[in-house]
Chains A and B, each alone.
Chain A
């Protein structure tokens, strides 16, 4: 029996097993945790985090980091609502999300072509995006959509397709696309290769600069999509919408098993990490744990995940 336990690849199955154990424990504490309604609303929250974590995963895989995700989310939130005022719900939403992708494109150019370190570039972009949206809105929360636009946009964040929340459907489709992109295309292989050894990538003829630009566009685009679904659900442009999400994005990616040192991880890990964070948070709320203790517990779990990532990289 002990030998069987020792034979389990804990690196691969540890987190999924912990996730299942966590679900069982929270259900035992309060059966309402496993109710259909709670599962639906938690997966809806999880879908949004999964998109953002997936974006961060691309940056981490290429041995980078995207610190601008939170501010880009806030920018997209106000840009989306502002664009809806002008173009209506559908076109306005696309324009809003493109604002976020543009931020990623600029970061990618600065990192890939000008050689500015990702941490500094995306830190700068964090302030540029935040400053831009605050100057534009004057700090005012944007509401007052027309009734038809509100109904249309709310569907994306708060609607259902059968028994499944709309953001979950979109997240599954986007997740599969990203999985395919990383695992089955030359672009994906290049991302892993750059993350493992950027110098060698140059030598074997990979166009590193171009790949880096695309990595940061994807990071910002996925964060923007997360922001869009959140904005849609709230039907308002909130200038500080993304503030709390950056830590969760990095934490979720690392918790899932994506290495902070590049080259290891992927979309499956992003899914696992984001689900663990969202269900842990929800389980603690449903179990009656106070918000102060919740933050400490989630923070502790993220630190443990970082520690595990460091240990894994050394071994």
Chain B
């Protein structure tokens, strides 16, 4: 009797599980899983973007895995992360590449495997069709140049501190700046490719202020470099605004520098909105609603002390409570 009950119970269980599986009951539906890979997670730019990725994934009911390569130099680490994700059978990938060229073979492999992929801002120069959501690097460089040259009335020495040299966006921003500045013979541009860390920025600007005491402006391509530059200018004994500094993005520290007139302007875009859009794009590609190739370019603007309290922050800043 006991044995018969056990057999009956077993078949009943199999029946129920079978029904649920066959019906594709909502409780057992596979949740989409996407991976976001960034080159340098500690950069405030990527911290803010992570907020965008996380909130959009939550909204769409998608599970997000976040991978940080830990620095632009760690191309191999990012390649390893992408290979692991292919093995895992991830549903989709959003990639900010550590290197425009170095990641191409592995990105080609991802595309060949049919894994939906969105390249978010930091390009991997694959020739295969892919979805891209990009900043306009040349325009960002030009924005900084326009502001600085206007402030200097077309005359003076300007230090340009582009971030990691292998990053396509930095190369484009640098090109945008230099090409625009060429139209002004009174402007002398000094370029110093610098690792994206505050101490490297500080050390470089301190040294170059000695070599070029006539320095009138510094254009920084990342938030850590901006902070380092401000510290170096403060230590040089220059008065506020005597050396114009134009930065990249905005965090609490940089906002304080703008308010105290140590930082004159910063180049912005709605990078959190951009991250949200990247999530929507990859989900659409997974569902077959969007097919590569597609190139989505976002807008850019410059923030100064005058516009600091007036611009719409929803696409570029995250709430203070987040990550506490």
Q: How many residues of A contact B (CB 8 A)?
A: 38
Residue interface mask A26-53, B partner, CB < 8 A = 1:
0000101101011001000100000000
Among A134, A240, A290, A291: residue with most chain B CB under 10 A: A240
Q: Is the CB of A141 within 8 A of B192?
A: no
Q: Is the CB of B251 within 8 A of A143?
A: yes
Residues 254-278 (chain B) with a chain A CB within 8 angstroms = 256
Return chain A residues, CB-CB under 8 Å to B75.
none
Residues 227-269 (chain B) with a chain A CB within 8 angstroms = 227-228, 231, 234-237, 251-253, 256
Among B194, B198, B210, B227: residue with most chain A CB under 10 A: B210
The 5 A-B pairs with the shortest beta carbon distances in the complex, nearest first, are A285-B207, A143-B253, A139-B41, A239-B42, A32-B210
Which listed residue (B44, B192, B197) contacts A243, Cβ 8 A? B197
A241 and B197 contact, Cβ closer than 8 Å, known pairs A140-B47, A140-B323: yes
Q: Does A281 contact B (CB under 8 A)?
A: yes
Q: Does A233 contact B (CB under 8 A)?
A: yes
Give A230 to B227 CA distance when docked, in angstroms.
Answer: 13
Q: Is the CB of A37 within 8 A of B236?
A: yes
Which listed residue (A41, A241, A282) contacts B199, Cβ 8 A? A241
Q: Is the CB of B252 within 8 A of A143?
A: yes
Chain A contacts to B: CB under 8 angstroms:
30, 32-33, 35, 37-38, 41, 45, 130, 134, 137-141, 143-144, 158, 230, 233-236, 238-241, 243-244, 281-282, 285-288, 290-292
Return chain A residues, CB-CB under 8 Å to B211.
30, 32, 285-288
Give A286 to B206 CA distance when docked, in angstroms.
Answer: 9
Nearest A residue (CB) for B68 = A139
Query: Chain B's nearest CB lies how many Å from the CB of A277?
Result: 12
A41 and B235 contact, Cβ closer than 8 Å, known pairs A236-B253, A281-B203, A292-B193: yes
Return chain B residues, CB-CB under 8 Å to A32.
210-211, 213
Query: Chain B's nearest CB lies how many Å from the CB of A159?
Result: 11
Nearest B residue (CB) for A30 = B211
Q: Is the CB of B251 within 8 A of A240?
A: no
Chain B contacts to A: CB under 8 angstroms:
40-42, 44, 46-47, 50, 68, 70-71, 165, 192-195, 197-200, 202-204, 206-208, 210-211, 213, 223-224, 227-228, 231, 234-237, 251-253, 256, 323
Give A238 to B323 CA distance when docked, in angstroms.
Answer: 16
Nearest A residue (CB) for B47 = A140
Work out how many contacts link A and B, with CB atoms closer than 8 A. 107
Told that A32-B210, A140-B323, A238-B224 touch, could you supply 18 new A-B pairs with CB distance under 8 A?
A: A30-B210, A35-B210, A134-B68, A138-B47, A140-B47, A143-B251, A234-B199, A234-B231, A235-B253, A238-B198, A240-B40, A243-B71, A282-B207, A285-B203, A286-B207, A286-B208, A287-B211, A292-B165
Which listed residue (B44, B194, B206, B256) contacts A291, Cβ 8 A? B194
Q: Is the CB of B46 within 8 A of A139?
A: yes
Query: Chain B's nearest CB lies how many Å from the CB of A308?
Result: 26
Query: Chain A's nearest CB lies how many Å from the CB of B94?
Result: 16
Give A224 to B102 CA distance when docked, in angstroms.
Answer: 35
Q: Would you give 28 A-B contacts (Cβ < 8 Å), ordered by A? A: A30-B211, A33-B210, A35-B210, A37-B210, A41-B235, A45-B206, A134-B42, A138-B47, A139-B46, A140-B44, A140-B47, A140-B323, A141-B44, A141-B47, A141-B251, A143-B251, A143-B256, A144-B252, A234-B202, A235-B253, A238-B42, A238-B198, A240-B70, A244-B195, A244-B197, A282-B207, A285-B210, A292-B165
